[in-house]
């Protein structure tokens, strides 16, 4: 397949063949970017309304640099190595709203890491191509459930071909004080061939998150627990040993310019705790990553979907005068972000798990219109 030609080689330090740079929460987004987008439609919202109303899409590109304290994800203190890395992370999702809260979609993304000192880790280029179906169920004016099923192929390095079936459910709740909370549960079932899984591993993902705006800043906090079941019971797992991991992300973002509401600058801290990895490189030890960079997003929602209905409800509430002085103030103009993987976004580096920073959802679209 043409995508396999994009890889320049595997990491010699890892017999598993999977690069340790991209985490499962990078490769299988937890949809947190969609939650950030709730706070501003951005210029794209108005321009793209001229397109078919049932068409929705999201284009996101994140360019960042990071300081990493344990690039090989090893648990021995003497084996830990600190390095500096540059990352380019473009993602595109295109979907069509079929009606009654149901959409079909396809997603493609690329993750490219370039390290300052660990040259062998710079060679692989990770790519993902998926298709899926999504069902939105409104729960009153402030909450929504989203059921999702995705089938995807994943290319992590030369000779390493993985395929996943990923069912999931996402709950989103609009909170007081210009905040959105969400909970996401996904089950990654991994095999080698498309639509043939699980034959290598099963990985449940559990995510809790909160997105809040304060004086024009978007504050995001997420934490994901991933349990990787490999060998046993499966054979041919890559890597062989199972493990557990908690990945947390704490981000502060702000729009760069009112003329470009989709462009934000951000700083993000990401502690990673691995355990029960059998001292296997790539899925062991503690790592801390400190990111800074820029993220640009263009998005259009399906006007007849649940998200659009919730967006109108939010705007209606914001336009109503407060009943008392204790009512929360209307949110200031903030930034958008992405609809998917990020992505929203874990376990081993080979675990491109079942969630996406590139993971939050289509349930609510925006909370405020930009002031320009």
pLDDT 10s digit of each residue in the chain, 372 long?
333 333 334 444 444 446 666 777 777 766 665 555 555 554 555 556 678 889 999 899 999 999 999 999 998 887 889 999 999 999 999 999 999 899 999 999 999 999 999 888 998 899 999 999 999 999 988 899 999 999 999 998 777 889 999 999 999 999 988 899 999 999 999 998 888 889 999 999 999 999 999 998 999 999 999 999 999 899 888 889 999 999 999 999 999 998 887 899 999 999 999 999 999 999 999 999 999 999 999 888 876 555 555 555 555 555 555 555 444 443 333 333 333 333 333 333 333 333 344 334 333 333 333 333
Contact residues for 120 (Cβ-Cβ < 8 A; gap 6+): 11, 12, 13
What Rg value do the Cα atoms of the chain yield, rounded?
Answer: 20
Predicted local confidence at residue 37, as pLDDT: 57
- 162 closest CA partner among 309, 54, 372, 19: 19
Q: Identify the DSSP state of 75.
A: S
Determine the Cα–Cα distance for residues 97 and 108; give it in Å rounded to an integer: 19
Q: Alpha carbon of 236 to those of 16, 164, 198, 200, 328: distances in Å?
A: 10, 15, 11, 6, 54
What are the structural domains of the chain?
Answer: 18-318+331-356 (2.40.160.40)
**Which of 135, 180, 183, 175 has its CA nearest to residue 40?**
180
Alpha-carbon distances of 224 from 29, 41, 152, 156, 303, rounded to whole Å: 11, 27, 21, 22, 31
Q: Please give the pLDDT value at position 270.
A: 97
* Longest Cα separation, the chain: 64
DSSP three-state, residue 68: strand
Helices (H) and strands (E) in the chain, counts: 4, 14
């Amino acid at each position: 397949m043409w995508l396999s030609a994009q890889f320049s080689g595997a990491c010699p330090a890892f017999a598993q063949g999977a690069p340790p740079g991209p985490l499962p929460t990078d490769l299988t987004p937890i949809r947190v970017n969609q939650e950030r987008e709730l706070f501003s439609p951005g210029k794209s919202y108005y321009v793209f309304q001229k397109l078919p109303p049932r068409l929705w899409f999201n284009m996101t590109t994140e360019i960042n640099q990071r300081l990493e304290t344990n690039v090989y994800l090893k648990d021995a203190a003497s084996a830990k190595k600190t390095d500096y890395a540059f990352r380019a992370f473009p993602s595109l999702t295109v979907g069509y709203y079929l009606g009654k809260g149901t959409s079909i979609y396809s997603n493609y993304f690329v993750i490219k890491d370039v390290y300052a000192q660990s040259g062998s880790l710079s060679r692989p280029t990770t790519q993902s191509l998926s298709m899926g179906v999504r069902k939105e169920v409104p729960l009153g004016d402030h909450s929504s459930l989203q059921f999702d099923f995705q089938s995807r192929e994943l290319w992590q390095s030369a000779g390493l071909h993985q395929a996943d079936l990923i069912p999931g459910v996402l709950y989103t709740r609009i909170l007081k004080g210009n905040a959105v909370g969400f909970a996401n549960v996904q089950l990654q079932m991994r095999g080698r061939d498309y639509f043939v899984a699980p034959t290598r591993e099963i990985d449940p993902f559990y995510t809790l998150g909160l997105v809040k705006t304060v004086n024009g800043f978007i504050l995001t906090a997420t934490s994901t627990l991933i349990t990787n079941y490999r060998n046993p019971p499966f054979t041919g797992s890559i890597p062989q040993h199972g493990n557990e991991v908690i990945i947390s992300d704490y981000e502060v973002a702000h729009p760069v310019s009112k003329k470009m509401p989709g462009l934000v600058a951000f700083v993000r801290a990401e502690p990673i705790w691995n355990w029960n990895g059998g001292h296997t490189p790539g899925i062991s030890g503690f790592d801390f990553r400190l990111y800074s960079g820029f993220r640009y997003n263009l998005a259009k929602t399906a006007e007849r979907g649940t998200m659009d209905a919730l967006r109108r409800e939010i705007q209606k509430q914001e336009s109503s005068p407060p009943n008392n002085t204790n009512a929360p103030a209307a949110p200031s103009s903030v930034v958008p972000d992405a609809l998917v993987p990020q992505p929203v976004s874990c376990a081993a580096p080979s675990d491109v798990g079942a969630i996406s920073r590139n993971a939050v959802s289509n349930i609510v679209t925006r909370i405020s219109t930009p002031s320009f």
